[in-house]
A and B are shown apart, each in its own frame.
Chain A
């Protein structure tokens, strides 16, 4: 495929070094970590060593890490698990979360409201999609069981002041969870310095494999499992651990932390070029999300009177793999909740485009992209008339 990949926020290729680390655990060291024999011991040693690696990256204890199948599962476990456990202890039945969360959080919150008797308060965001600590402060009360605010937004890249939000929550004695799935590739995930109680990660956003994730849970945080069964993962996540993927996940996070500055320095100037060029050359275009406080590899735009899905089609045919927050593969364009939450009118909200860069992105690719985009937007605008 002669395509230029500009969708690193959707997923990333597995780093060859990560793949190498994973391979032995498919075949030679294939044991079940719960088994008594040597095979089992080998597998158990591998996942415990992976847990150590993750703990170092997050600046936490190894027994505070739960391995899951993906970022979404981590969010499910954090919300459902903590909400149920806290309510059992204190009767608090309110969940605070923002209007721009990933569906893994928002749909879980909706389910807790509809089927489990919780009450969800949806926190407003500003025009950049940012949750202000005082908004959280005002919404908190003694019935609040849990607050969940994402670290960085997948659609518009805005980074939330989660350290401040965590501090506000703790002043009120309320648990704070953050979905760091999108943020972890480029932002520090030191849970001590950030003061986080629970933090979700997904392996494939930073060159690990798909199908594996993790949840940091501060020691002493009330939590019940959302998947019950065997006693794996400290009785909090039943099911035989996916040993090779857990090994790959840890190695990928280790490399990410080690190379973070280098990767940051690689993508940011290229990303800045995309933003500058698009706003300069394309009429009726605007940046969505915050201008500075955003992920360094993330550029997102809205184009007035453009069908975002059609724009993606035209770009793909032109050789650029991008994404949009407002449409999915079914060609059924409805503006996303995020576009509505930041106050974009429908004629803007339908025409969103997300460009996310990665270590594989080159200056030539970006040059060719910014040269092509204006005419493609124009074409989409004509066809959308």
Chain B
């Protein structure tokens, strides 16, 4: 029997993933990661509260599949949390979920799954994969509103070969119905974008507690250098931000950028926000091969952003230049730009 490990969270999506695979004849094993939390906040880590664990355990028992919890606290802190802190130290707005998917879920946990003798690992992500000419393609979910492919642009052929995404072929209401028909809990956590290890707290408080040294006060300036206010640490600001700037101005001002060397936050008018171009580094091509030529694509610059038409230009140094047809607001260093043609995710990289 083909063996699959399902990464379970206790939520409806991964529970249904497990049930569907079992119905399709796989031998299913449930696994859950115990991730890092700040000391004392273990009860509130969004990804692995005792409640969520209890729920996942009940689902496993309902399906009569084995269920194990794997400790990933150390590796999570060393990779994901460090990346998060380093990103802010560089003046970026990092997206640690990308690193979690690349290094924790689809490496650490996948290795455990393979060690248990599994042929595949499945998650409750809304995304699809298909084989074309011996290669694995990553596709947007059928339910575009729920699509989570953005955070999975970090996967490669080796990982995709072992990946199953059983819920990507359904829309959310169908998943709820299937859950009901299997007698599974149908609750889903609200699709919060809060990071699990922030445990519901604001990231700024987390930085204050864990990397206070990076929160150096400095000036808020206009493009021309005019000082219009003071900031309390670059990490407290993100591109496009308007609220909480504490600047004296007759017109609303927005964060346009940050100058790490000068420790300044650069602000300006709304119409100055747009960017026509961006450069990405740390680029991953799902096919494993860098395209030789520029191509037209839809590009997504944040998890929740709407795709924008652009010309994608792979550069000799491995980076990628993206030229949008129209200026884009909120192009933010540290977030990913992900390239799609129709439903196919071709690749993505981190915005410089």
Contact call B71/A332, Cβ cutoff below 8 A: yes
Chain B residue contacts of A333, Cβ below 8 A: 71
Count of B interface residues, CB-CB < 8 Å? 16
Taking chain B's interface residues, is the majority helix, strand, or loop, or is none over half, making it mixed? mixed
Q: At the interface with chain A, which of B86-94, B112-120, B276-284? A: B112-120
B159 to chain A, nearest CB (A): 17
A284-312 to B contact mask, C-beta < 8 Å, 1/0:
00000000000000000000000101100
Known: A317-B29, A379-B115, A383-B112. A332 touches B68 (CB 8 A): no
Knowing A330-B34, A330-B53, say if A313 contacts B116 (CB, 8 Å): yes
Bound Cα distance from A332 to B111, whole angstroms: 19
Interface residues of A in 313-364 (CB under 8 A from B): 313-314, 316-317, 329-333
Contacts of B29 in A (CB 8 A): 317
Contacts of A314 in B (CB 8 A): 115-116
Which A-chain residue is minimally distant from B34 (CB atoms)? Answer: A331
On chain B, the residues within 8 Å of A382 by CB distance are 115
Alpha-carbon gap, A330 to B53, bound state (A): 8
Q: Which residues of A contact B34 (CB under 8 A)?
A: 330-332
Task: Tell which of B50, B66, B70 touches A316, judged by Cβ atoms closer than 8 Å.
Answer: B66
Q: Are A331 and B116 in contact (CB under 8 A)?
A: no
Shortest A238–chain B CB gap in Å is 32
Range class of the A interface residue count: 10 to 19
Tell whether, in the assembled complex, residue B69 and residue A330 are in contact, meaning their CB atoms are under 8 Å apart: yes
For residue A312, give the distance in angstroms from its CB to the closest CB of chain B.
Answer: 8
In the complex, which residues of chain B have a beta carbon less than 8 angstroms from the beta carbon of A330? Answer: 34, 50, 53, 69
Please indicate which of the listed interface residues B29, B115, B117 has the most CB atoms of chain A within 10 Å of its own CB. Answer: B115
Distance of A316 Cα from B116 Cα, bound (Å): 10
> What is the CA–CA distance of A363 and B50 in the complex, to the nearest angstrom?
39
Report Cα–Cα, A332/B66, bound state, in Å: 18
Asked if A309 and B69 make an inter-chain contact with CB atoms under 8 angstroms apart, the answer reads: yes
Chain A residues near B115: list those with CB within 8 A: 314, 379, 382-383
CA distance A224 to B34 in the complex (A): 43
How far apart are the CA atoms of A329 and B56 in the complex, in Å?
Answer: 13
Contact B69 A329 (CB under 8 A): yes
The smallest beta-carbon distance between B37 and chain A, in angstroms, is 11
Q: Are B53 and A310 closer than 8 Å at their CB atoms?
A: no
Inside 8 A of B116's CB, which chain A residues have their CB? Answer: 313-314, 317
**Bound: A62/B279 CA distance, A:** 84
Q: List 14 A-B contacts (CB under 8 A).
A: A309-B69, A310-B70, A310-B71, A310-B112, A313-B68, A313-B70, A314-B116, A317-B117, A329-B69, A330-B53, A331-B34, A331-B68, A331-B71, A332-B69
> Chain A: residues with CB nearer than 8 A to chain B?
307, 309-310, 313-314, 316-317, 329-333, 379, 382-383
Given contact pairs A310-B70, A313-B68, A317-B66, enumerate 19 new A-B contacts (beta carbons under 8 Å).
A307-B71, A309-B69, A309-B70, A314-B115, A314-B116, A316-B68, A317-B29, A317-B116, A317-B117, A329-B69, A330-B50, A331-B32, A331-B70, A331-B71, A332-B69, A332-B73, A379-B115, A382-B115, A383-B112
